[in-house]
Amino acid sequence: AQSVTQPDIHITVSEGASLELRCNYSYGATPYLFWYVQSPGQGLQLLLKYFSGDTLVQGIKGFEAEFKRSQSSFNLRKPSVHWSDAAEYFCAVAKYNNNDMRFGAGTRLTVKP
């Protein structure tokens, strides 16, 4: 089955600094890849997704992610972090029809003033 690893449990960045959250996946075929964000006490919100085509995908809230097949990675980036970005971020991978989406353990982002 497919799986996802998020190597960083917790990351702290200063407001205005750039951000990169790492995601590595394991799946034999071309995966469907997703990034979700979860604010405290809330459900998950989809930030962006990759199915095929351009390997650099743009999402909401100024986030982008790049699919690198050779590295089995789908890292999330943002050029300038805002205090409101503090949350937990989940990477997910799915097969076609995504009825068995697998999530990483999450990365908690803290933003320093």
d(CA 113, CA 111) in angstroms, rounded, equals 7
Residues forming the site for other proteins (CB under 8 A): 1, 4, 6, 32, 34, 36, 41-46, 49, 51, 90, 92, 96-106
3-class secondary-structure state, position 18: coil
What's the closest the beta carbon of residue 12 comes to other proteins, in angstroms? Answer: 19
Residue 43 or 113 having the CB closest to other proteins: 43
How many CA atoms does the CB half-sphere of 11 hold within 13 Å? 23
Q: Considering beta carbons, is residue 81 or 90 the nearer one to other proteins?
A: 90
How near is the Cβ of 105 to other proteins at its closest, in Å?
5
Separation between Cα atoms, residue 84 and residue 80, nearest integer Å: 12
- The answer to whether 64 touches 80, Cβ cutoff 8 Å, is no
- Residue 34 or 67 having the CB closest to other proteins: 34
CB of 27 to other proteins, least distance (A): 15
